[in-house]
Amino acid sequence: MFSWLTSTFLGKLISTFFLSMVPVIELRGGLPYGIALGLDYPAALIAAVLGNMVPVPFIIIYIRHIFTWLRRRSSWWDLRITYLERKAHLKGRVVQKYSAIGLCILVAIPLPGTGAWTGALVAAVLDMRLRRALPSIFLGVCIAAAIMTMVTFGVIHVF
């Protein structure tokens, strides 16, 4: 389907980068995808980490404004946003207790419901400053990359 995109080195980098930007998939899917495409490890790692980090500052800065705007649009959005905020507050307990280290741990665990998007949402809901949240999220993404590297190359067997 996307063979025209993944037939070149640049195309493989771009597709790995953009796949790593997608919520839920993020680096957990982007890094193994890039390696499976035939990218060498450093190129796949850089594309996945950068792709995973691009949305983070925008989420931290703008998500509350977007939520407010959507809530004014309809009650349907209000229900979904309330649900997201409740989940963010639940995950934010660790972050509130351990601050920046807690945020790093939340992002570093390569499981669904964690990651850079969730960490950025939690940081925004807890009113963490960008200059404090961004390094913690970046470190968490790097730790997740190390874990996913070990899983991808078979050092850690998941099943």
Taking all residues of the chain, what is their mean pLDDT, rounded to a whole number?
91
**Residues 78-100, buried b or exposed e (16+ Cβ, 10 A)?**
eeebeeebeebeebbeebeeeeb
How much is the pLDDT for 97?
A: 84
Per-residue pLDDT tens digits for 87-108 = 888 888 878 888 899 999 999 9
Per-residue pLDDT tens digits for 52-68 = 999 999 999 999 999 99
Shortest CA distance to 52 belongs to which of 76, 85, 82, 30? 30
- 130: buried, middle or exposed (CB in 10 Å: 19+, 13-18, 0-12)? middle
* Confidence tier at 152 by pLDDT (50, 70, 90): confident
How much is the pLDDT for 159?
A: 52
Percentage of residues of the chain with pLDDT beyond 70: 96
Phi then psi dihedrals of residue 38, to 5 deg: 105, 10
